[in-house]
């Protein structure tokens, strides 16, 4: 089977490539001044995001007023493929562009869209996501950070944890309990909070793969005052807001997992071509060949499943494939990393280069760091165990535990 796009689609790809050739920051520019967290804008990143916004290429499925050009799903898929092929981020504040602004566009008042979403889209402000708490991760509905309305001000007390990029953010989209008497999911609201407000303390969490820099934080709130007009969505309606975020791009987000796994697989297979003892040994190692073949099948299955789900969603049908793909992609990547560690042995520990890993979201050739970093895919956005529960209950129709 040979998969290919039609001529019209390839024409769009060629135009996009030409535009990127002319305007995108070079790999050297990005490597010389890397993003230090999920909310950090290095020197080149704000002008780049603004350029994409002005060209209608920031979130291409949205209208021109929001930095898009109303592109259809196929063009959006091509867009993703081209950015991934260049290791090019559309924004270094992924949370702001892919989670926060779509939520504000969906639930915000026209004033909130103008005041909060537009500067985030233009790269003028950066945002982080305040959902998880020490006892409310998978069980998000168990969150305890509370906000009490006094006149026209909410007063917030509590703690968030694992907040990516909080130390580089201007604002946080914060989920709080506003009705302690209501059933868990019904008493939650969403507030847009200025991180420079008095009463907020941000403490770093130093990471296994972090070296001197860090992404994750704890954020403490003590009597923090938030104007009531910064409530996003209905009071006690925060659960629905938390389920939003780029629904229209969901059918193509799998492309990233597939792309990264295919790239890592290329590095794995390439080990047998090394002109040294490791390469010579692997070339004739049947176990290694079997492992590469098994991972190749996984990566190919992922691609086929992704396209099948994509085709279904384009014709308005449910696409359970996409629920399976997050789990499948993140665990396939992890398995490829483990195979790499196994293949190169002690060398995978010797060449640990922390700073280098942190500077790039993409695979660097360092198997141990890549493996340790891979848990950043199997935990956030629903852990692998939670994904298995979803597949079991919603797709296979098995009874709830
Ligand atoms: C790199 C990274 C970045 C993150 N960024 C953010 C961020 O920016 N903002 C934010 O709010 N949060 C963020 N998180 C937090 C993330 O959303 C949570 O870690 C995740 O939801 C899991 O919650 P938890 O850590 O409390 O683990 P728990 O929910 O306590 O889970 C512990 C273990 O129990 C398992 N488990 C839990 N419930 C079940 C169940 N019902 N059935 C089977 N197994 C279960 C889990 O799979 C896991 O293995 C980030 C996490 C990571 C790793």
What mean pLDDT value characterizes the chain? 90
365-380 pLDDT, tens digit each: 678 888 888 888 888 8
Higher pLDDT, 156 or 72: 156
In ligand 1, the atom with minimum distance to the C-alpha of 384 is 47
Q: Tell me the C-alpha distance between 29 and 180, whole Å.
A: 50
Which CATH number is correct for 127-239, 3.30.2320.50, 2.40.110.10, 2.60.40.1510, 2.40.50.840? 2.40.110.10
Cβ(202)–Cβ(219) under 8 Å? yes
Nearest CA to ligand 1 atom 23: 137
Radius of gyration over every alpha carbon of the chain, rounded to an integer in angstroms: 22
Residue 351: predicted pLDDT: 59
Q: Where are the strands (E) in 162-304, listed by range?
A: 171-177, 188-194, 200-204, 217-227, 231-232
Pocket test for ligand 1, best of 140, 190, 379, 401 (most atoms within 8 A of CB): 379
Which bin fits 342, alpha (ψ -120 to 50), beta or left (φ > 0)? alpha
For the domain made up of 7-121, give the CATH fold: Butyryl-Coa Dehydrogenase, subunit A; domain 1 (1.10.540)
Which residue has the CA at smallest separation from atom 44 of ligand 1?
385
**Range of lowest pLDDT (128-132, 290-294, 354-358, 366-370):** 354-358
Q: In a mutational test of the pocket of ligand 1, which residue from 99, 131, 138, 376 has the highest number of ligand atoms less than 8 Å from its CB?
A: 138
In short, whether 383's Cβ falls inside 6 Å of ligand 1 is yes
- DSSP class per residue in 305-348: HHHHHHHHHHTT---THHHHHHHHHHHHHHHHHHHHHHHHTTHH
* pLDDT per position as a tens digit, 138-164: 999 999 999 999 999 999 999 999 999
The tokens of 139 are what?
């069980």
Model pTM score? 0.92
Reduced to 3 DSSP states, what percent helix, strand and coil does the chain have, rounded to the nearest 5?
Answer: 55, 15, 35
In this predicted model, which residue has the larger pLDDT, 364 or 218? 218
Ligand 1 neighbour 389 (Cβ under 6 A):
yes
- pLDDT higher at 4 or 198: 198
**Distance from C-alpha of 287 to C-alpha of 285, rounded to nearest angstrom:** 6
3-state secondary structure of 243: coil
Give tens-digit pLDDT for 23-50.
Answer: 999 999 998 998 999 999 999 999 999 9
pLDDT for position 356: 46
- 7-121 against 127-239: fold identical: no
Domain residue ranges of the chain, discontinuous segments joined by +: 7-121, 127-239, 253-395
**CATH fold of 253-395:** Butyryl-CoA Dehydrogenase, subunit A; domain 3 (1.20.140)
Any atom of ligand 1 within 6 Å of the Cβ of 385: yes
What percent of the chain stands above pLDDT 70? 93
pLDDT score of 171 more than 50:
yes
């Amino acid at each position: 089977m040979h998969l290919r796009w039609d001529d019209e689609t390839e024409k769009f790809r060629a135009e996009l490539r030409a535009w990127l050739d002319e305007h995108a920051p070079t790999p050297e520019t990005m490597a010389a001044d890397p993003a230090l967290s999920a909310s950090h804008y290095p020197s080149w990143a704000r002008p780049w995001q603004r350029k994409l916004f002005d060209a209608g290429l920031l979130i291409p499925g949205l209208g021109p007023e929001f930095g898009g050009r109303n592109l259809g799903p196929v063009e959006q898929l091509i867009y993703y493929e081209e950015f991934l092929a260049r290791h090019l981020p559309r924004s270094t504040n992924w949370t702001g562009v892919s989670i926060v602004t779509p939520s504000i566009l969906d639930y915000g008042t026209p004033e909130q869209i103008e005041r909060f979403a537009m500067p985030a889209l233009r790269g003028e402000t950066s945002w982080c996501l305040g959902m998880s708490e020490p006892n409310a991760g998978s069980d998000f509905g168990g969150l305890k950070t509370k906000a009490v309305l006094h006149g026209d001000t909410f007063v917030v007390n509590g703690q968030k944890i694992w907040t990516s990029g909080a130390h580089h953010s201007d604002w946080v989209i914060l989920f709080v309990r506003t009705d302690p008497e209501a059933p868990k999911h019904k008493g939650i609201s969403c507030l847009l909070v200025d991180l420079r407000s008095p009463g907020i303390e941000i403490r770093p969490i130093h990471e296994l793969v972090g070296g001197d820099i860090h992404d994750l934080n704890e954020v403490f709130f003590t009597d923090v005052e938030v104007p009531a007009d910064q409530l996003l969505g209905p009071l006690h309606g925060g659960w629905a807001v938390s389920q939003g975020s780029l629904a229209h791009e969901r059918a193509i987000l799998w492309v990233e997992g597939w792309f990264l796994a295919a790239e890592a697989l290329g590095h794995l297979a390439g080990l047998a071509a090394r002109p040294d003892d490791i390469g010579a040994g692997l070339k004739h190692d049947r176990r290694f060949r079997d492992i590469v073949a098994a991972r190749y099948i996984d990566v190919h299955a992922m691609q086929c499943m992704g396209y099948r789900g994509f085709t279904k969603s384009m014709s308005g049908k449910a696409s359970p494939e996409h629920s399976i793909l997050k789990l499948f992609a993140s665990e396939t990547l992890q398995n490829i990393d483990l195979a790499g560690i196994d293949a190169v042995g002690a060398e995978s520990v010797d060449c640990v280069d922390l700073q280098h890993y942190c500077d790039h979201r993409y695979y660097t050739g360092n198997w141990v760091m890549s493996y340790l970093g891979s848990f950043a895919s199997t935990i956030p956005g629903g852990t692998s165990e939670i994904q298995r529960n979803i597949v079991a209950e919603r797709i296979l129709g098995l009874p709830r535990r």
